[in-house]
Amino acid sequence: MLAVERQADKFRADAPCLRIDLNEDFDNKLTGKFDLIAAIEIIEHLYNPRHFIRNCLNLLNHQGYLLITSPNVESWVSRIRFLRHGRPLWFDETDYDLLGHVTPIFSWQIAQICRELQTSLRQIGNTQSKLLWKRLGDGPFDILRGRTWLMGFLYPLMKGKKDGEINIYLISHN
């Protein structure tokens, strides 16, 4: 097991950790091929998701998998927050400044990147969270909590990955 972290001094798990900026080419900084690369809540912090995925694929053995998670900006709560604030959930100015969330990722983008890189998007899943209602915030949209009939009307009209707070992508070579 090997970890990569831009701020390696903050890494706390019991594993070797390399200081690498994943916005730069990194496939040439690591030796060997990997069976699994897990990028948990990383891609939304990067400027170029295609570059990151391409570098990861270069490090995978032919039978390996790339597992990526990212906030689900397509969730129904994120869509309501976008209507209210003009920004998807987890991507407002505070999240940009404090968390470093610079690139919202949509499931269709991951699928498109996989097509462009001639690789396979094997599965898309998501986490389920009962806390999503709390993400709506205070004020007029607070009313939605008591108006499930409205969501019952709007929900079927929504396309994409409308459930879950975090999307999980499993990618492999063809």
Q: What is the pLDDT of residue 174?
A: 87
**Residues 46-94 pLDDT 10s:** 999 999 999 999 999 999 999 999 999 999 888 888 888 899 999 999 9
pLDDT of residue 144: 52
Domains of the chain: 3-173 (3.40.50.150)
Secondary structure in 3-state letters for the chain: CCEEECCHHHCCCCCCEEECCCCCCCCCCCCCCEEEEEECCCHHHCCCHHHHHHHHHHHEEEEEEEEEEEECCCCHHHHHHHHHHCCCCCCCHHHHHHHCCCCCCCHHHHHHHHHHCCEEEEEEEECCCCCHHHHHCCCHHHHHHHCHHHHHHHHHHCCCCCCCCEEEEEEEEC
What is the reported pLDDT for 84? 82
Would you state the pLDDT for residue 138? 54
| The pLDDT value given to residue 64 | 97
| Banded model confidence at residue 141, pLDDT cuts 50, 70, 90 | low
pTM of the predicted protein model: 0.85
Return the pLDDT at 171.
Answer: 98
pLDDT tens-digit profile of 9-59? Answer: 888 888 888 999 999 999 999 989 999 999 999 999 999 999 999 999 999
Residue 150 has pLDDT above 70, yes or no: no
